Structure 1
Amino acid sequence: MTDHAPQPVERQLPSEEAGELLSLVRDIARREIAPRAAEQEESGTFPRELFALLSASGLLGLPYDSEYGGGDQPYEVYLQVLEELAAARLTVGLGVSVHSLACHALAAYGTKEQRAARLPAMLGGGLLGAYCLSEPASGSDAASLHTKAEREGEGWRLTGTKAWITHGGIADFYTVLARSGGPGAKGVTAYLVPADAEGLSAAAPERKMGLKGSPTAQLHFDGVRIGEDRRIGKEGQGFAIALAALDSGRLGIAACAVGLAQAALDAALGYVAERRQFGRPIGDFQGLRFLLADMATAVEAGRALYLSAARRKDAGLPFSRQAAMAKLLCTDNAMRVTTDAVQVFGGYGYTADFPVERYLREAKVLQIVEGTNQIQRMVIGRQLLGPESR
């Protein structure tokens, strides 16, 4: 079978600059990401050199202030960049989203001195970040984390274990949420920890069904000492910082899910364009056309929802509920679209000779990360019924 080149997604962008940015991203995706995606995922290779290229191209700090090396791009544009990257390889799109999440605390809550000292290197200096909230015994229940932060002299001492950390063991810095006070959400504080801090180590990466090129590992903090200047925000403000970051991060996951679903749809359309059965192109069969129509509708619906939420964020409006809705719908749709793409390919779809089986395995994790989809439903329901609901 010959290669089928998918048509670029028709996008409504807010500026000519945004259009040029998306063209650059598509060019990098086509030349640098997609050609090696299948091989590197199979071998479990993380493309660190590619992230250096993305950093040098200004793509790791797009939604942040240009004063500190960011791109001054609205979320509406940044998320569409993520979508394009994820369509080429989810490891890359998700990696950029996680890096942006790791920069959020410092960018939004750091002092001017902290931002000036560290943010330029994080946004455009080739560094890679990770976000440390989950623990072995506290995933969805983030307010019950146990990693301790204790005052020691002029700084802090961190002890505990973080789990399910994307880029764990390969990142240059970690945004860490740790318990500095009493129980519950009010006892959590945020810290920025360098990867070379003494006492910080990573376990072997988890063995996952998908996203094998993106390392996920536990991190162990064995009395890690950091200075007071690495505390982000006020003491006890960490949980609020985490929630604010997760609202934005959920939009990143939604965009990545749409990119993955778009890739699966494109692959299915390419296969249908060439495959013949019973002396006819299989695209002539109404049952298959209906399946493709449902897939395309799911992709478009997800894109419209995450962009609507992003525009609320850009306008300074509340968007927490809309972010949860976008994460829920886009990731559920990605699971359905990738499953249907395998069905379109028939037996071939179940083999590693075609990318759709990988897309299916990758889609599953998007229903889990940044808060499971059951958690998203809780967030949405609570906001619909008011703060008194449980």
Structure 2
Amino acid sequence: MSLTKSFRPGGKHGLSSRESRDPIGYAVAALTKVAQSELIDRIGLRRQAEQAVFTVTRGGFKTMTTASRSFARSGRKGAPGVRPASAEAKGVFDLTPTEDQQMLVDVVSELADEVVRPAAADADAACAAPDEVLEAGREIGLPILGVPEALGGISEERSAMAGTLVTEALARGDMGLAVAALAPGAVATALGLWGTDEQQQTYLPAFTGDDVPVAALALNEPTVLFDVLAPSTTATRVSEGYVLNGVKSAVARGADAELFVVGAELDGEPVLFLVEGGTPGLSVEGDPAMGVRAAGLARLTLTDVAVPANAVLGSTDGTTYTECVRLSRLAWCALAVGTAQAVLDYVTPYVKEREAFGEPIAHRQSVAFMVADIAIELQSMRLLTYKAASRAAAGKDFAREVALARKLCADKGMRIGLDGVQLLGGHGFVKEHPVERWYRDLRAVAIMEGTVLV
């Protein structure tokens, strides 16, 4: 992945020639834009964001989806699209980030600490992400992280490893806001991986421009014992394309989305479909959950939604859909690692400063061992996630690795959240401290499907 080639002087990202000479110039430029945009001061007021989706906390809303912008139909119909190359295989178990990847992670970490974290509590209460936080993510290129450079993105090769690192760094600030910021990029990445030339030329220019559309990956469904690989949403062939019927839940920023990637069953196989917002038969309502509330989760209902024949994204034999599920689960593992790291970073100084019976509670073995267990389990989560990401980036089969990573991150991530609350005692139960929010967010890792993708 090259950061220097994509942020060109005088280009759409507006960086000077000096700033675009090397990765350091890019990182400094991005940090300067965040620091000078008054985002920190505005978000520091901890004001409620002014979006209609906030009404979900007061009984919910139900409306038609956002009318889609006019996506210009272009590209060669039926022709294969541009595909990012696989990362070079190193031949050893070396997960050290490249220089470019580390620079990008440093920028995102700064964003998480200075912009995302201060806005998290209010965003969680309001069930929506402030525009300032989303704009900061757009400024550093989050929506185009997985888009090939040939299509206007910043990726020279498959971005699973870089996307995992960025997702982890952003989740250290807040998981809900990370999901909100990364949701459009999930759709752009899907188009880069599986879109035809026509689909890429029609939709991706909007993501690489200044006015990035809100987009959502909708795989989850509100059914008992939901199996993501056997969706209840159906697609029926008709003379002019397909008709979709079903309900999707936990759709990030669904109330504002202009483009959806919807999973549905077609002829007994799970398939992905591109559905533009405003299509007749689409409606959305607030779907606030226990955690990840800042992502503005919504429920999407499809009632006889007609889409053209070229709305299919990828193959119809289930392989594209399955790979999408695995890459999404990989992203959720990265979110779990970042949030668990935030828990560890918070409880470690707390137990050293909190005194009971005349000494810090860290002097108690039960407390010290609990913190040590968090660090051990966190590192195991990170290594499994990174290994799965590295195989995905290299174009290798990563089904086993991502399955192991998801199982570990779901179980141990939730345990880390619970231990964080326990270590703070009564403070862990109140909203004055962020650990209770992280605990609620970490419980989502085991049940969320889709939404984000690396």
TM-score > 0.5, shorter chain as reference: yes
**Is this contact kept in 1: 2:147–2:192, CA < 8 A?**
yes
Q: 1:77 to 1:227 in 2, by over 3 A?
A: same
Q: Does 1:85 align with 2:166?
A: no
Q: Does 1:129 align with 2:212?
A: no
Residue type of the alignment partner of 1:122: F
Match of 2:425 in 1: 346
Q: 1:354 to 1:83 in 2, by over 3 A?
A: same
How far apart, CA to CA, are the structure 1 residues paired with 2:363 and 2:419? 17
How far apart, CA to CA, are the structure 2 residues paired with 1:111 and 1:21? 29
Provide the TM-score with structure 2 as the length reference: 0.72
How much does 1:70 deviate?
2.5
How far apart, CA to CA, are the structure 2 residues paired with 1:49 and 1:173? 22
SS in 2 for 1:196: coil
Structure whose residues are more often helix by fraction: 1
Match of 1:374 in 2: none
**Is this contact kept in 2: 1:130–1:174, CA < 8 A?**
yes
**Is this contact kept in 2: 1:101–1:245, CA < 8 A?**
no
Q: Does 1:200 align with 2:282?
A: yes
Q: 1:336 to 1:167 in 2, by over 3 A?
A: same
Aligned equivalent of 2:154, options 66, 71, 75: 71
Aligned equivalent of 2:229, options 133, 142, 145: 142
Match of 2:406 in 1: 327
Which range moved further: 118-127 or 13-22? 118-127
Q: Does 1:244 align with 2:326?
A: no
**Is this contact kept in 2: 1:150–1:158, CA < 8 A?**
no
How far apart, CA to CA, are the structure 1 residues paired with 2:433 and 2:195? 46
How much does 1:192 deviate?
0.8
Aligned equivalent of 2:299, options 199, 205, 218: 218
How much does 1:304 deviate?
1.0
Match of 1:280 in 2: 359
Match of 1:36 in 2: 119
How much does 1:141 deviate?
5.3
How far apart, CA to CA, are the structure 2 residues paired with 1:189 and 1:261? 33
For structure 1, the 5+ residue unaligned runs are 1-10, 372-390
Provide the TM-score with structure 1 as the length reference: 0.83
How far apart, CA to CA, are the structure 1 residues paired with 2:142 and 2:370? 35
Which residues of 2 match residues 1-390 of structure 1 at below 5 A?
13-72=96-155, 74-122=159-207, 125-137=211-223, 139-140=226-227, 142-153=229-240, 155-180=241-266, 182=267, 184-185=268-269, 188-203=270-285, 205-234=286-315, 236-237=316-317, 239-370=318-449
Q: 1:280 to 1:12 in 2, by over 3 A?
A: farther
Residue type of the alignment partner of 1:34: R
Which range moved further: 213-222 or 299-308? 213-222
Q: Deviations over 1:130-185 (max 9, x none)?
A: 122333447215325243343243x44333332332332222210122344x3x22
Q: Deviations over 1:305-333 (max 9, x none)?
A: 11111111222221011011111112211
How far apart, CA to CA, are the structure 2 residues paired with 1:335 and 1:82? 18
Q: 1:107 to 1:151 in 2, by over 3 A?
A: farther
How far apart, CA to CA, are the structure 2 residues paired with 1:137 and 1:208? 15
Seq. identity, %: 31
Higher relative contact order (CA 8 A, sep 6+): 2
How far apart, CA to CA, are the structure 2 residues paired with 1:86 and 1:144? 28
Which range moved further: 102-111 or 317-326? 102-111
How far apart, CA to CA, are the structure 2 residues paired with 1:29 and 1:136? 31
How far apart, CA to CA, are the structure 2 residues paired with 1:289 and 1:123? 48
SS in 2 for 1:270: helix
How far apart, CA to CA, are the structure 1 residues paired with 2:128 and 2:245? 30
Q: 1:95 to 1:332 in 2, by over 3 A?
A: farther
**Is this contact kept in 2: 1:135–1:162, CA < 8 A?**
yes
SS in 2 for 1:322: helix
How much does 1:98 deviate?
4.2
Residue type of the alignment partner of 2:220: S
Q: 1:249 to 1:64 in 2, by over 3 A?
A: same
**Is this contact kept in 1: 2:347–2:420, CA < 8 A?**
yes
Which range moved further: 348-357 or 91-100? 91-100
**Is this contact kept in 2: 1:265–1:296, CA < 8 A?**
yes
**Is this contact kept in 1: 2:112–2:171, CA < 8 A?**
no
How much does 1:262 deviate?
0.7
Which range moved further: 157-166 or 282-291? 157-166
SS in 2 for 1:201: strand
How much does 1:120 deviate?
3.2
How far apart, CA to CA, are the structure 2 residues paired with 1:223 and 1:169? 19
For structure 2, the 5+ residue unaligned runs are 1-93
